[in-house]
Amino acid sequence: MTTAVTAPERAGSAPDGTPVHRWVLERAGTRVAVLDYGGILQSVEVPDRDGVRADVVLGFGDVAGYVDCPSPYFGALIGRYANRIAGGAFTLDGRTYRLPRNNGTNCLHGGERGFDKRVWDAEPAADGHGVRLSLVSPDGEEGFPGRLAVSATYALDAAGALRIEYRAVTDAPTVVNLTNHSYWNLGGAGSGRAGGHRLRIAAGHVTPLDGDSVPTGPPAPVAGTRFDFREPREVGSGYDHNFVLDQGTPGAPGASFAAELYDPVSGRVLTVTTTEPGIQLYTGDAFDAGPFGPCEGIALETQHFPDSPNRPDFPSTVLRPGEEFRSVTTYGFGTADDRT
């Protein structure tokens, strides 16, 4: 089979009773399930070095699992603003906007009802290899200015890699930062802690953080610190940090190599390329959700930097009328006998 996009099937209901559907994509040995609730990447099935298939993202079998979970954003599409905005406020063009403080004193992942809790409109992608999700976020939603029209297309390429393309336009100046919040365990979901995976990140700098995970200053060199993943090493635990990607590292067309994750037991390899300037490494130390315990999945969230709306020295997240936000991240899958 070269390509298959299965007709959507009912997968449950959102808390308000809106029907939720599952779209299944299959190509070149990769099988992916996407929910129109939260744009959730529900499963990604790929073979190991012996050809045995397993689901390598943490998730639940139905919508209720996501709704009932004390959410660490399993597999979700995050917006309007991924990561934290300090103090739940930012100033744009001289006007201050107040946001929900749903993470201590900060706004996290778009507020109390971000894009991860919305039912998106869904249709087959134009090229026939994926599903296109879209929604309109009205002016003032969660405190953000401007009517924002957003789309996210999940598609499999000829090699079985998963490509997510985000687009957005606005009718008033606003800020935008979109990502996918999947937790990867290349041994298979439920196989135990993922800290033994080996990770390489193309980043010579990391943004230093305070105790609330808000940047305290300009990016700092990783050399000689536990943040140095420029050469592959075990992930371990204790990370919820934004890495500043080295731009121009060869990757997918129009994108740069960001990270590679390898599981020595299964031999599975995940390669991440992106157009984004940063990647958030989160080892899930704190969560205990359903069948999953701490450090059972590793999040690699491609995005702009935390608190960029309050940091003019960071790459801008401002979107204005007449402009288009566009971001592409690709997750490639393969196997290896050994990587050191």
Residues recognised as catalytic: 181, 301
The Cα 34–Cα 53 span in angstroms is: 18
The Cα 48–Cα 25 span in angstroms is: 19
Phi, psi angle pair for 11, to nearest 5°: -125, 10
3-state DSSP call for residue 71?
coil
| Residue 136: count of CB within 10 angstroms of its CB | 11
The Cα 98–Cα 121 span in angstroms is: 28
Both tokens of 195, joined, read 């800290």
DSSP for 273-329, please give it: EESSSEEEEE---S--BTTB-TTS-EEEEEES-TTGGG-TTSPP-EE-TT--EEEEE
Helices (H) and strands (E) in the chain, counts: 1, 28
The Cα 39–Cα 25 span in angstroms is: 14
Ramachandran region, residue 338 (left: φ > 0; alpha: ψ -120 to 50; beta: rest): beta
